[in-house]
Amino acid sequence: MRRPIPSGKLIERIRKLRALSASNDSSTEAERAAAQALRLMREHAVPQAALDAAAAEREDPLVARKSYIDGLRLVPIEERSGLYAQTAGWKRSLAVEVSHYFGLQCSYASGTAIFVLYGHSSDVEAAAELYGTCARQIDRLCAEHLRAKAEAAREKYGGAAPHYWTPGDARTEGTSFRDSAVAGLTSKFEELTEESASAHAEPHALVLSRRAKVADWVSKTYTFKKSSSAEGFGGSTDFCDAGYAAGRRLDLHDRRALDAPEREVRALEGA
């Protein structure tokens, strides 16, 4: 027969008794507190693991962080650099995939750059950092690919290049590249998760338990509207393939991407 999970109030009472035992100058009082804590643990079958988990929970609590997709960064909303604005779809998609990779839940306000992360505080911070790392690399690789395409058009068509490679073409293909890069990164995340599950079964089980805990907390605390997903990517096959390949080869530990000056890809004249 399964024993009931000890309540939070009971665990907190045991923790306070233990703290009192450790900090009390009176040996009699300290022994009394320690004995009472031990009695409660035995009477209610509270394992040490439950106390350890509660301690970890206090150090790394579940949070709902209202964030903002600020250019190529995902920051707490109070740290946004400007007024509220819309954001590109690929940036929101990237935020969603990075959140899922860390076992977080997320929500966003349609048509805005507001993005909410739900999960353990340390995972939220790590997800925001990885978002910036990936967003900057995608932005840079897209700029390089657009520049190469523009140069190829100039070499092939000379002065007539603007008729064959317009600013509108650059915007369309740039969107295609970035969307596909996010898809490629998602594929990479899935492979990394599968590799972790097979190579490190026990730690992966703890990760799954942590994710389930977050999902359960969110489902009991918040209510969301259903979201819709994009139908697919526009643009040429060349840019879709190049973007997907770029997403697959992103360096998830590239600190240079975090230190690089933020910028957006802008179509140069004739690019």
Residue 163 contacts residue 109 (beta carbons within 8 Å): no
Please report, in angstroms and rounded to a whole number, the separation of the first and last CA atoms in the chain: 70
Amino acid at 260: A
What whole-number distance in Å separates Cα of residue 92 and Cα of residue 113?
8
Cα 183 off chain centre by? 15
CA 234 – CA 176 distance, rounded (Å): 6
Neighbours of 240 (CB within 10 A): 21
β-strand partners of 191: none
- The answer to whether the CB of 54 falls within 8 A of the CB of 11 is yes
CA distances from 179 to 69, 102, 121, 142, 244 (A): 16, 20, 28, 11, 8
Query: Is residue 265 a contact partner of residue 143, using CB atoms and an 8 Å limit?
Result: yes
**Tens digit of each residue's pLDDT (9 = 90 or more) over 208-260:** 888 888 899 899 988 876 554 444 445 567 778 888 999 999 998 865 444 44
Given a cut of 50, the residues of the chain with pLDDT beneath it are: 1-2, 228-233, 256-271
Backbone angles phi, psi at 144, to 5 degrees: -65, -40
Helical H segments across the chain, by residue range: 8-23, 27-43, 48-59, 89-101, 121-157, 161-164, 167-199, 201-221, 237-248, 255-259
Residue 46: predicted pLDDT: 80
> Which amino acid, one-letter code, is at 267?
A
Residue 94's pLDDT is 96
Is the entire prediction scored with pTM above 0.85?
Answer: no
Contacts of 244 (CB under 8 A, 6+ apart): 180, 181, 183, 184, 187
Residues in the chain: 271
